[in-house]
Amino acid sequence: MNMERLDLSGIHTYLLGILKDVDRFCRDNGLRYSLAYGTLLGAVRHKGFIPWDDDADLMMPREDFNVFIRTYNREGHRYRVLYNTDNGQDRFINAFAKVEDTWTVSIEKKRKGIFSFGLNLDIFPVDGAGNDYCDACRFSRRCARLRHRILFSQKPWFPLSFHNPLIPMIQAHSHSTAWWFRTCEETLTSRPLEQSAYGGPISGGMRDMEIYPAEMFRYYTELPFEGESFLGISDWDTFLRQQYNDYMTPPKGHGRIDHGLEVYVK
């Protein structure tokens, strides 16, 4: 079967389609969400996608995230949420969710052979991390280790490398992927956001960089993006400064990072 390969402009067009559908569903059902990471940065700095970026990210308070992953999928719908999915044909098991465009096929070089799905955006649940900042950072690191074990448990043993170190690989393969996923999710949800002074999209795996005042995730505002309007946390400046420092200055050369995607329309 011949398939058309999308250029970067085409990838942006298809990602925008997913964003618009998720936004419409969330507004119709009273669910909170925010643009996140490079997508939030793109909204603030470029009023759209970062020109060289090839993905999209959202974050949702865990309460809204749980409703979304339970109710978003509709029979025959073009867009589909993947979360702890392993049905023999589709496989995505991680601490966050994806919404894929089923009309496409997406190949990410560093994930080749592990997951299989269409072009997609990531949705990171926002979880609580407790009431003490230092303890919250330790909690985030523990969650990051569990998330990495989910990934390592799905990788072949060889070749071992810096990204596939021996000891974590041994630990990861001592239990099933389902066991690591369950343990990670139970840990992530053990400190409710509403009862915490600190929290963040801890499932992103960035450890201390994911810890913010929990109140940041209570207030949202409209942000222009590619001629549309999407939701973002009101205090996007604090989020972006912690993630990117001088975020209004575009990086040059090797600082312009993408996921190396190959995307095809079925």
What confidence score (pLDDT) does residue 33 get? 98
- Whether 45 has a pLDDT exceeding 70, the answer reads yes
pLDDT tens per residue across span 10-29: 999 999 999 999 999 999 99
What confidence score (pLDDT) does residue 212 get? 98
CA pair distance 104, 206, nearest whole angstrom:
29
Q: What is the mean pLDDT of residues 88-106?
A: 89
What confidence score (pLDDT) does residue 162 get? 63
CA pair distance 46, 8, nearest whole angstrom:
16
Sign of the dihedral through C-alpha 53, 46, 57, 148: positive
What confidence score (pLDDT) does residue 115 get? 56
The token pair at 143 is 């969650």
Lowest mean pLDDT among 12-21, 109-118, 199-208, 237-246: 109-118
Q: What is the mean pLDDT of residues 154-158?
A: 81
Helices 236-244 and 37-45: crossing angle, nearest 10°? 110
Burial class (CB in 10 A: 0-12, 13-18, 19+), 219: exposed
Query: Do 115 and 259 meet the contact criterion of CB atoms below 8 Å apart?
Result: no
Query: Do 264 and 237 meet the contact criterion of CB atoms below 8 Å apart?
Result: no
- Whether 7 has a pLDDT exceeding 60, the answer reads yes
pLDDT confidence bin for 254, thresholds 50/70/90? low
Among candidate residues 58, 78, 76, the one with its CA nearest the CA of residue 68: 58
What confidence score (pLDDT) does residue 88 get? 61
Q: What is the mean pLDDT of the chain?
A: 92
The token pair at 223 is 């942000």
pLDDT tens per residue across span 119-134: 999 999 999 999 999 9
Q: CB neighbours of 164 closer than 8 A, spacing ≥ 6?
A: 152, 155
- On whether the pTM is more than 0.85, the answer is yes
Beta strands in 103-239 (DSSP E): 104-108, 120-130, 198-200, 212-213, 220-225, 228-233
CA pair distance 86, 209, nearest whole angstrom:
30
Please tell me which residue, 100 or 90, carries the higher pLDDT value: 100
CA pair distance 108, 151, nearest whole angstrom:
15
Percent of residues, the chain, with pLDDT higher than 90: 78
